[in-house]
Amino acid sequence: MYSRKTFFTLLLLVLLTMWLVAARQPATLPVATMSHLSAENPQVFKVVFMLADSPTDNGWNAAHYRGIVQLKTLGEVTETSGLSFKVKLADGRTLDVSVIEKVGYSDADIERVLRSALERGAHLVFGTWWDSQWALSRLAEERADVLFEHCSGYPMTKSNGRNLSTYFIKQEQGDYVAGYVVGRLGYNKVGLVGTHPIPEPVRGINGFTLGLQRGLQEAGQDPNSAEVRVVWINSWLDVQKEQLAADGLIAEGYKVIRQMADTPYSSQTACQEPGVIAVGYGTDVTPYAPCSLVTNEWNWGNYYVTRVQEALNGAWKPHDWWGGFEADAVVMTGWNEQLVPAEIRAAAEQLVAEIKGGFEPFCGPLSGSGLDPNGKVVRIEVPQGKCLTDMDLLTMQWFVDGVKSEYPSAPPEGHKLELRDAPTPTPTPTK
């Protein structure tokens, strides 16, 4: 048995040891974040970004990487390895950002890469493309200790609500403004290189067509003369298919080529033909397509910085986020001063301000058509005073009048629109 003196001596040593260990821990580390930090090194927070292809695509993946790089503003960059980097934060912790490129579009490959990232201690994972949604959803159920973010696709937090978020940009707002510029210049026929006939491209095509109609009307032309001819390549990026589709549209007589693939090759192809102009998409195509009028560019950086900061502070919560011009998630860039007169650019920028103020392009009266589950063409009407809801847009599988294309497949339950009352726009001062 220990003597009382020995007992209290041992107790004092234990308490002193516990105090020294506690003193070594960062005082600013939030309790909510502790469970997401590596047991091996609680000073390191690991974020993984998975890319379908490479930032060298000068399109979709390039846009995401531009956003990822903004995380370097959170502190001092201490190490860089390829696309990945480490940042020393003000509180002494390290933000370890790993970027995995060329994951591909196979669900099995995506899950394999994701599991590998989790085995290496990822605390927060971003899947930056449509096809990553299923693997992220499955593994989010398995790994409640990890935070997951999925770009594109449908909202999924209702089926999880704990550690899985979705985020996307309202690119159709930029499509609307791009179409408006084309219409104001007097062009009423546009050839468009489409990717997959799913809601994301479909609502972008519709946004572009509605903008084209408005531009034509303000240019003193018949908005009903607008025609957007879509050629589907059934791929997110395919150099040969994009070039062939653009060549085919030009051969049909279209003088304006709207790029909607993840790479700039359709715009580049357009600029090789005299008298043909292009409209960029996602990433400024000016370096590759000098005949481009403008590009509606995506800005993911603000979102990435915000969500990583929230995770670091223990304030991350699952949500379905959808940001547009009001969040600076879409910007109009690459203005061609030789092809777009200053007054038309000013009008387009005013339109951006209107959208920020509450104007919504997808409000009635609005007409279109699509297929019912039996393959029959049906008419779809949005009355005056009503607008499409976010879910109506996220599940859009029909075309507004003016689109010339093979119809996308109908939703299993048909086109059942929720609709909502039209908002009252906030007055925007005229420049």
Give DSSP secondary structure letters for 307-335: HHHHHHTT-----EEEE-GGGT-EEEE--
Q: For CATH 3.40.50.2300, list the domain ranges present in the chain.
A: 31-169, 171-298+330-421
- Please tell me whether residue 259 adopts helix, strand or coil conformation: strand
Q: Give whole-number Cα distances, 326 to 284, 323, 353, 359, in Å.
A: 20, 7, 9, 11
Q: Give whole-number Cα distances, 131 to 104, 135, 164, 310, in Å.
A: 9, 8, 16, 26
Determine the number of helices (DSSP H) and then strands (DSSP E) in the chain. Answer: 12, 20
Element (H, E) at 65: helix 60-69
Read off the amino acid at residue 255.
K
* Tens-level pLDDT at each residue, the chain (431 residues): 333 333 333 333 333 333 333 333 333 223 233 344 444 567 999 999 999 999 999 889 999 999 999 999 999 999 999 999 999 999 999 999 999 999 999 999 999 999 999 999 999 999 999 999 999 999 999 999 999 999 987 777 666 679 999 999 999 999 999 999 999 999 999 999 999 999 999 999 999 999 999 999 999 999 999 999 999 999 988 999 999 999 999 999 999 999 998 889 999 999 999 999 999 999 999 999 999 999 999 999 999 999 999 999 999 999 999 999 999 999 999 999 999 999 999 999 999 999 999 999 999 999 999 999 999 999 999 999 999 999 999 999 999 999 999 999 998 888 999 999 998 755 555 54
Do residues 225 and 263 lie in contact, with contact meaning Cβ atoms separated by under 8 Å? no
Q: Which of 253, 256, 205 is nearest to 232 (CA)?
A: 205
Cis peptide before 365 (omega within 30 of 0): yes
CA–CA dist 184, 214 (Å, integer):
8
For the structural domain made of 171-298+330-421, what CATH number should be given? Answer: 3.40.50.2300
Element (H, E) at 349: helix 342-356
Do residues 400 and 214 lie in contact, with contact meaning Cβ atoms separated by under 8 Å? no
Q: Which of 162, 165, 150 is nearest to 35 (CA)?
A: 162
Beta strands per DSSP E along 9-60: 44-50
What are 261's strand-pairing partners?
Answer: none
> Which is the CATH superfamily of the domain at 31-169?
Response regulator (3.40.50.2300)
Question: What is the value of pTM for the model shown?
Answer: 0.87
Residue 100: phi and psi, rounded to 5, are -110, 115
